[in-house]
Amino acid sequence: MEVLTLGEALVCFSRPTDPEEAARGRYVRSMGGAEANTAMGLARLGHDVVWASMLGDDPLGEYVLDTLAGEGVRTDHVGRSATRPTALMLKERRGAHDTAVTYYRRDSAGTELAPGHLDEAVVASARRVHLTGVAIAIGEGPRALVHETAERAAAAGVTVSFDPNFRPAIISEADASNEYRRVLASTDELLCNETEARLITGEADLDAALDALAALGPSTVIVKRGADGALVLHHGERRVVPAHPAPNPVDPVGAGDAFNAGWIHARLAGLGLDDSLALAAFVAAQVVQHPGDYEGFPDADAVAAFVAARDIQQPRDIRTPSLTPSETA
């Protein structure tokens, strides 16, 4: 097993962007979930990935399993709940940069995740463990499992990456900050956005936030900034990384998960820092140009072509300008 991840999957019903299709009341079925998205992206790139979860013993749960199997994700550690349903979300794309999502996840099967769901030996057998703050937010059991898994992975010398994926509708800022800080003590690589960087550290200045985040444990801190690229602090080295062009954006949901998949793939492939960051940005740019959370993930051939054609340029190793929240909103 190269990558182990855990969390909740949701079946997604999206209104078509075509006005005539939307007027007929038709919805397109797909699936999402931060950890599942990243798992599918990695599997599409040829990695052995295990996604652990709980699903309802219902048709939607079967759909999730079938979708993951079709993408090559292993579901050896997915349980089925007899009393709680598979989670749902409804998505409406109002424009290239405006997608409204409504979640139906209260008391879903995913909330039955709890410590002990993954054996210590299973965690130790992975090359990497990828975790997110969504599982932390959906319930006490999943939250405890995230902490248990992170601590077990760190103790076994397994590389841990963490994306807070802050969801203000299901976790308060105070609780989120406390829980994220606890996970960061066992984290090697933090992949967050600007809001999360400031939330965790209390620093309005992103340059100061990078330092404060690294002081909490991670040797690599990546602050994703969408079309503005990313800020990086890697073993004391700073990088300002541009975004990869996405000339035809369709759906921004899942872009961060795609960036994570590209980054993890690149590190597993042994690429250097600069190439890894460029590849992560490339993967994210492909996903936002397709409807759905994961459908736009490139395959291994597309990524290999990007790596082969890449004109390698050294990013500037500088401190970033001081940025206030208003300047980066």
Catalytic residue positions?
257
* Chain centre to alpha carbon of residue 277: 15
CA atoms of 195 and 177, how far apart (whole Å): 11
275 phi, psi to nearest 5 deg: -70, -35
- Tell me the backbone φ, ψ of residue 217, rounded to 5 degrees: 145, -45
From start to end of 198-276, where are the E strands? 220-224, 230-234, 237-241
| Interstrand relation of 3-6 and 10-15 (parallel, antiparallel or unpaired) | unpaired
Cα dihedral angle (239, 38, 32, 248), rounded to 10 degrees? 50
Q: Mapping DSSP to helix (H, G, I), strand (E, B) and coil, where does residue 1 land?
A: coil
CA atoms within 13 Å, Cβ hemisphere of 28: 16
Whether residue 154 contacts residue 30, with contact meaning beta carbons closer than 8 Å, is answered with no
* Rounded Cα distance, 95 and 323, in Å: 28
